[in-house]
Amino acid sequence: MTKKLLIAGAALALMSSCNNMENPFLTESSAPFGAPEFDKIKNEHYLPAFEAGIAEAKAEIDAIVANQEEPTFENTIEAMEYAGETLNGVASIFYNLMEANTNDEMQQIAEQLSPMLTEYEMYVSLNPALFERVKTVYEKRNELGLDKDQMKLLEDNYKGFVRGGANLSDEDKALYSKWSEELSLASLQFSKNVLAATNAYTLHITDTADLAGLPEFVKTMAAETAADKGLEGWAFTLDAPSYSPFLKYSSVRDLRKQIWTAYNTRATSGEFDNTEIVKQIVDLRIKIANILGYETYADYALEERMAKSKDTVNGFIKDLLEPSMEFAKKDVADVFAYAKKNGFEGSQLESWDFSYWSEKYQQAEYSLSAEELKPYFQLESCIDAVFGLATRLYGISFTELDNVPVYHEDVKVYEVKDADGSHLALFYADFFPRASKRGGAWMTEFRGQSIKDGVERRPFISTVMNFTKPTADAPALITHDELTTFLHEFGHALHGMFAQGRYGSLTGTNVSRDFVELPSQIMENWAFEPEYLNSFAKHYQTGEPIPAELIEKIVAAKNYLAGYAQVRQLHFGYLDMAWHTLTELPAEGTVEFEQKVLSKYPVMPAVEGAAFSTSFSHIFSGGYSAGYYSYKWAEVLEADAFSLFKEKGIFNTEVSSSFRENILSKGGTEEASVLYRNFRGHDPEPQALMEKLGLVK
């Protein structure tokens, strides 16, 4: 999930033959609701639109600076908020499509844009005359009678300038600009390498013996993947819907090891090597933090989050990690003991064994398998059920539209209406994997909510996932885990849809990184509620409701391997903090540094040469640097928050209305801790999560 794109860049000479009338970014959209005209957008439109947007934004900034009147909230802070409309519009589309539907030409354009946008960011953030106006207003803030959102906008702007180098000397400003541009390019290259390394690998199988253990739906999907690639037999890729089932079901250990190794050595060497790029990114972040007066990058990043400091985050991780280790080791020991009883001959479970044997152990313990559940979770039924949950909680409705342009044929668009029938948002849903889309799942927006000159603009929200595609023999059937992912990303989408406020930079998901996951993670709880599952889970062939005993097994298995899963997630946060609390680069290589860090809390045997850092997009090309802990932080919040639904009823509209009013609609207009207390009446405690996961003695 990404926050609202903050634009930064600089103008180049105009270099396109397209004039404004031909460029869909530079003319008013004729699509319903003013939606993006994806059917008209071509690669050649991007650069001219960025150039025009940058020129327009610079002119708007220049006009603010040139204003001879005394600086006021309206002529300085508000004027800045509304500057760069064209630039923000084209960037929100380009960079979202870079993740969801990219191509080689777009990636080349992104490289050209990086120095342009970085220069523009410096044009604003290092503009002494502009900062002086902001500072003048800030110093008088208590005399201006500002509303809460206005005060927050003013404070955010002032701090943004300071954190962006406004107080630096001219010499240091030049260094800061140089390092920022280099960081932008390095992050872009990191992302390109991960995608390329992922797409470069195929496990090609032609011998039916090598399909041993694989369910029919996995083999069917692999046959279609092979056909798409012009291959005979079956093909498996490193995309999650292909990679994960292979590890879970294949009884051919050597092939499990092969595909696991390919996935976990992505971008560690060869043509798409990210090992030095990781160190370059970390080094640049250290330099930027230092020049701004911070000891580490974590100190810089966490200042604007709920946690506030690296000591708080490290303590939070430690307080969850250490008591969870005992449970994680028991989880692994239990799976190993089961494997030994059932034919496993190794002296220990390796990482490529764990998914396979834990799936078999889960079936033995709970008689539950993903394959058994999938027929009850047809994607179309799940879409209706997820929308239906929102209707039941919040009264909103969804209508699929066929007259709104999309960027790929797989994308569906829905109009979202509020309980009173008023238009709330457009919702784009992109469900299936493809080579042009990165892995994972996320929510984003093509336009956020805002009010300008008394006119409100409602948002265009998007969720992007990588679910199993329909085959020639069956519709799209998703796993229960994928249903949980759908609910998660839809929670982010609700945060965007319900946005209310004047200022786009404070609405929707524009909140602190360690608060933004609360609306998403709380939604996952419904995936384990019998009353909810009973309302829609029906066999796609027979129409029979999901048996009560299967639901009982889902609930009973909810905390299966909870200790192992908790430690694995905390490992990622621990590794993130290890990279971003460095004061200088480590002597070791990237892979060696990671293995040294994680060796303090071992659960599975280390594998020489394997590393996650080189493909850890969240922290090296996404927005989660020194912030991956926020997933667990938000889990603590949601465990405490959902307990109120459990107490009052999982469809209780009094509770959901309060959650909408105090959390979902407020965005970043107030401090996150205040918003949470307004909803729950108290601060959350980590023990709520440990109890929810059953990780207590």
One-character DSSP codes across 439-499: SS-EEEEEE--EEETTEEE--EEEEE--PPPP-SSS--B--HHHHHHHHHHHHHHHHHHT-
Where helices occur in 168-252 by DSSP H, the ranges are 170-200, 216-228, 240-249
Per-residue 3-state assignment (H helix, E strand, C coil) for 595-608: HHHHCCCCCCCCCC
Name the pairing type of β-strands 397-401 and 412-417.
antiparallel
- Phi, psi (degrees; rounded to nearest 5) at 426: -100, 140
Residues forming beta bridges with residue 463, ordered by sequence position: 429, 443
Distance CA 157, CA 80 (A): 9
Tokens of 613: 């850092």
Nearest in space to 521 (alpha carbons), one of 494, 497, 500, 498: 494
Amino acid identity, position 201: Y
Name the pairing type of β-strands 455-457 and 450-452.
antiparallel
- Phi, psi (degrees; rounded to nearest 5) at 309: -145, 155
Sign for the pseudo-dihedral over CA of 45, 47, 51, 57 = positive
Tokens of 230: 């012009």
Contact by Cβ (8 Å): 468, 237: no
Distance CA 262, CA 424 (A): 44
- Residue 526: left if φ>0, alpha if ψ -120 to 50, beta else—which one? alpha
- The count of other CB atoms within 10 Å of the CB of residue 148 is 12
List the end-to-end C-alpha distance of the chain, in Å, as a whole number. Answer: 35
Q: Dmax of the chain from CA atoms?
A: 82
Tokens of 69: 């009147």
Contact by Cβ (8 Å): 125, 13: no
Residue with tokens 């999901």: 546
Name the pairing type of β-strands 460-464 and 423-430.
parallel
One-character DSSP codes across 657-690: HHHIIIIITTTTSS-HHHHHHHHHSS---THHHH
Residue with tokens 């990636």: 107
Helix or strand holding residue 414 (H, E): strand 412-417
3-state secondary structure of 304: coil
Q: Is 51 a catalytic residue?
A: no
Sign for the pseudo-dihedral over CA of 542, 545, 550, 556 = positive
The length of the chain in residues reads 697
Contact by Cβ (8 Å): 474, 32: no
Residues forming beta bridges with residue 545, ordered by sequence position: 538
Distance CA 160, CA 140 (A): 18
Name the catalytic one among 81, 181, 489, 594: 489
Nearest in space to 124 (alpha carbons), one of 160, 170, 95: 160
DSSP letter at 685? -
Tokens of 74: 């309206």
Name the pairing type of β-strands 234-236 and 450-452.
unpaired
Distance CA 300, CA 467 (A): 36
Residues forming beta bridges with residue 399, ordered by sequence position: 415
Name the pairing type of β-strands 234-236 and 203-205.
antiparallel
Q: Which residues are catalytic?
A: 489
